[in-house]
Amino acid sequence: MDAYDVIIIGTGAGGGTLARHLAPSGKRILLLERGDWLPREPQNWLAQDVFVENRYVSEDTWYDADGNPFQPQIHYFVGGATKLYGAALYRLREKDFGELRHHDGISPAWPISYDDLEPYYTQAEQMYQVHGARGEDPTEPPASAPYPYPAVSHEPRIQQLADQLAAAGHQPFHAPCGILLDEPNMPYSTCVRCANCDGFPCPVHAKADAEVLGVRPALEHDNVTLLTNAKAVKLETNPAGSAVTGVAVEHNGATETYAGDLVVVACGAANTARLLLESASDKHPNGLANGSDQVGRNFMYHDSVAVLALSREENPTVYQKTLGLNDFYFGSDEFEYPMGNLQMVGKSQSPMFRGEKPGETKLAPGWTLEKVARHAIDFWLSTEDLPRSDNRVSLDRDGNFTISYTETNAEAKKQLYNKLRSLLGDLDMNPGHLFHRFMYMKTEIPVAGCAHQAGTCRFGHDPATSALDVNCKAHELDNLYAVDTSIFPSIGAVNPALTAMANSLRVGDHLLERMA
């Protein structure tokens, strides 16, 4: 059996970031990735292939609580979900780390404070080359350094939107974007500023994803090995059940076992819980790290909504994701509870609609899908969903993988939607009409749109109510860690990747200290 100092399972935001952080240590590091390299091909940028034919979506079948099968919108590649992500790289707000009262209940506190994570947010912004402007967003938490790159400029229609929002008394800001764009020097810019970013892979490797800025830099170190098409299927322990001794992996049609002094799981929230549940043994009959019955529970995924408004003028914007609005993040004069974040999403293209089933287009009589796309201004509304014990992933006796999920905070989501709706007249858009887009969730089963999945193995001080300790080590095992979004005790209302990256760097420092 090959032996490593560290085995990292999964190469997405959590695993890819950790690999790069640990690589210079010279420790022997094995990266296990169930997917392959995402092929660089013309289809990367074709809406028909990406959005209608689901070219880069896994073929997994999962089940909802009623036993209905669905194809989860999940991506198995080196770089994980970040290969397709929109690269909006937000920090959680400072108050998100404390207990917060929402319309539907309490969002629990994290076991660490914002101040504990702040230095790692700064490092993560530097590693992922985030472009942004401090001081514009009133909810922005304090930062110890400026953004490493200037904000991505608004195109004229979005600048107009920003001006109109400001004139109506709001505080729009330049959204933090992870793209390798050099606007003053476009002939040398890696990013060409195209319309096919959010939800597409980037064939020119200009997106700040975990392959380009995590795994590839890690592999420049001889002590790092990557095994692709290597699916971890079980974690084996010593007879006492106190440490992981082997990782069983399906690779090239055979099962191989690898040993590591430290084992870090970063398979994405649902699959991390799945691997732990599948690793049940005599010593851990309910799954590894699951003496508290927490593994799989508190699944969250931002039951977000993508909507488009119809601009009176055409909207020729190419790269639309440059603007955000957090004025209603913690509530408003009329609604005292947190509502969430408003941001732009990738520009609509008519072929996407065929993948997204926009039944509501009938509300715009006489408008072809092409015309709707030309006039669309597209927003992404995210409201925090609360961790609920019964919202969970689980395995049944036949090994079927189920996500049971009941929506929380529907009222707050509705309030945020209504806020946007009420603004349209001021923003030179057809008042009263917002059309739903089913971006990232191209099926009738909302939970299939699990792009922002989190929870399932939360970290905390108390082994009775958490699976992992403050260093994200399993309470019950000496050498098992998790660093993906599974560790989130709550999800806030901003996109989760930067927080997973920052936490991975934090845990990485702990691992380096432990291995010193």
Distance in Å, CB of 87 to ligand FAD, minimum: 5
Mutual orientation of helices 497-515 and 114-127 as an angle, nearest 10°?
Answer: 100
Stretch binding ligand FAD (CB under 6 A), from 144-152, 179-187, 307-315, 493-501: 493-501
Kindly tell me which of 226 and 310 has the beta carbon lying closer to ligand FAD. Answer: 226
By C-alpha distance, which of 245, 242, 235, 305 is closest to 271?
Answer: 235
Judged by CB under 6 A, the chain residues 176 through 215 that form the site for ligand SF4 are 179, 191-194, 196-197, 200, 202, 204, 206-207
User: Is 447 within 8 Å of 391 (Cβ atoms)?
Assistant: no
Q: Which does 12 bind (CB under 5 to 8 A by kind): ligand SF4, ligand FAD, none?
A: ligand FAD
Q: Judged by CB under 6 A, which of 326, 485, 490, 503 binds ligand FAD? A: 485
DSSP code at position 177? B
Kindly tell me which of 294 and 495 has the beta carbon lying closer to ligand FAD. Answer: 495
User: Is 232 within 8 Å of 267 (Cβ atoms)?
Assistant: yes
Specify which residues 150 forms β-bridges with.
132
User: Is 19 within 8 Å of 221 (Cβ atoms)?
Assistant: no
Sign of CA dihedral 279, 56, 443, 451: positive
Judged by CB under 6 A, the chain residues 238 through 277 that form the site for ligand SF4 are none
Q: Which does 267 bind (CB under 5 to 8 A by kind): ligand SF4, ligand FAD, none?
A: ligand FAD
Q: Which does 484 bind (CB under 5 to 8 A by kind): ligand SF4, ligand FAD, none?
A: ligand FAD
User: Is 456 within 8 Å of 299 (Cβ atoms)?
Assistant: yes
Regarding 297 and contact with ligand SF4 (CB under 6 A), the answer is no
Q: Which does 207 bind (CB under 5 to 8 A by kind): ligand SF4, ligand FAD, none?
A: ligand SF4
Judged by CB under 6 A, the chain residues 432 through 461 that form the site for ligand FAD are 440, 451-452
Count residues binding ligand SF4 (CB under 6 A): 13
Count residues binding ligand FAD (CB under 6 A): 41
User: Is 285 within 8 Å of 502 (Cβ atoms)?
Assistant: no
Stretch binding ligand FAD (CB under 6 A), from 74-82, 124-132, 351-359, 369-377: 74-82
Regarding 9 and contact with ligand FAD (CB under 6 A), the answer is yes
Three-state secondary-structure class, residue 495: coil
Q: Which amino acid is at 28?
A: R
User: Is 507 within 8 Å of 472 (Cβ atoms)?
Assistant: yes
Regarding 322 and contact with ligand FAD (CB under 6 A), the answer is no
What percent of the chain is helix, strand and coil (3-state, nearest 5)?
30, 20, 50
Q: What is the DSSP annotation of 329-394?
A: TT--SS--S---EEEE-SPP-HHHHHHH--GGGGGSTT--HHHHHHHEEEEEEE-PPPP-TTSEEE
The CA–CA distances, whole Å, from 377 to 23, 315, 380 equal 42, 7, 10
Regarding 11 and contact with ligand FAD (CB under 6 A), the answer is yes
Q: Which does 458 bind (CB under 5 to 8 A by kind): ligand SF4, ligand FAD, none?
A: none
Q: Judged by CB under 6 A, which of 267, 309, 381, 416 binds ligand FAD? A: 267
Q: Where are the alpha helices (DSSP H) in 238-285?
A: 269-278
Q: Which does 485 bind (CB under 5 to 8 A by kind): ligand FAD, ligand SF4, none?
A: ligand FAD
Kindly tell me which of 34 and 207 has the beta carbon lying closer to ligand SF4. Answer: 207
Kindly tell me which of 193 and 433 has the beta carbon lying closer to ligand SF4. Answer: 193
Three-state secondary-structure class, residue 325: strand
Give the x/- contact pattern for ligand FAD in 214-253, rule: CB under 6 A: -----------------xx---------------------
Specify which residues 263 forms β-bridges with.
7, 480
Torsion region of 311: left, alpha or beta (phi above 0 gives left; psi -120 to 50 gives alpha):
beta
Kindly tell me which of 174 and 207 has the beta carbon lying closer to ligand SF4. Answer: 207
Residue 160 parent element (H or E): helix 156-167
Give the x/- contact pattern for ligand FAD in 29-68, rule: CB under 6 A: ---xxxx---------------------------------
Distance in Å, CB of 188 to ligand SF4, minimum: 14
Stretch binding ligand FAD (CB under 6 A), from 6-14, 236-244, 348-356, 462-470: 6-14
Sign of CA dihedral 83, 349, 168, 413: negative
Torsion region of 296: left, alpha or beta (phi above 0 gives left; psi -120 to 50 gives alpha):
left
CA atoms within 13 A on the CB side of 16: 27
User: Rounded to an integer, what distance in angstroms lies between the CA atom of residue 475 and that of residue 292?
Assistant: 10
Judged by CB under 6 A, the chain residues 80 through 139 that form the site for ligand FAD are 80-82, 84-89
Distance in Å, CB of 175 to ligand SF4, minimum: 13
Judged by CB under 6 A, the chain residues 275 through 304 that form the site for ligand FAD are 275
Stretch binding ligand FAD (CB under 6 A), from 238-246, 261-269, 280-288, 464-472: 261-269
Stretch binding ligand FAD (CB under 6 A), from 39-47, 75-83, 107-115, 301-309: 75-83
Contact set with ligand FAD (CB under 6 A): 9-15, 32-35, 75-76, 80-82, 84-89, 199, 231-232, 266-269, 271, 275, 440, 451-452, 484-485, 495-498, 500
Binding site for ligand SF4 (CB under 6 A): 179, 191-194, 196-197, 200, 202, 204, 206-207, 319
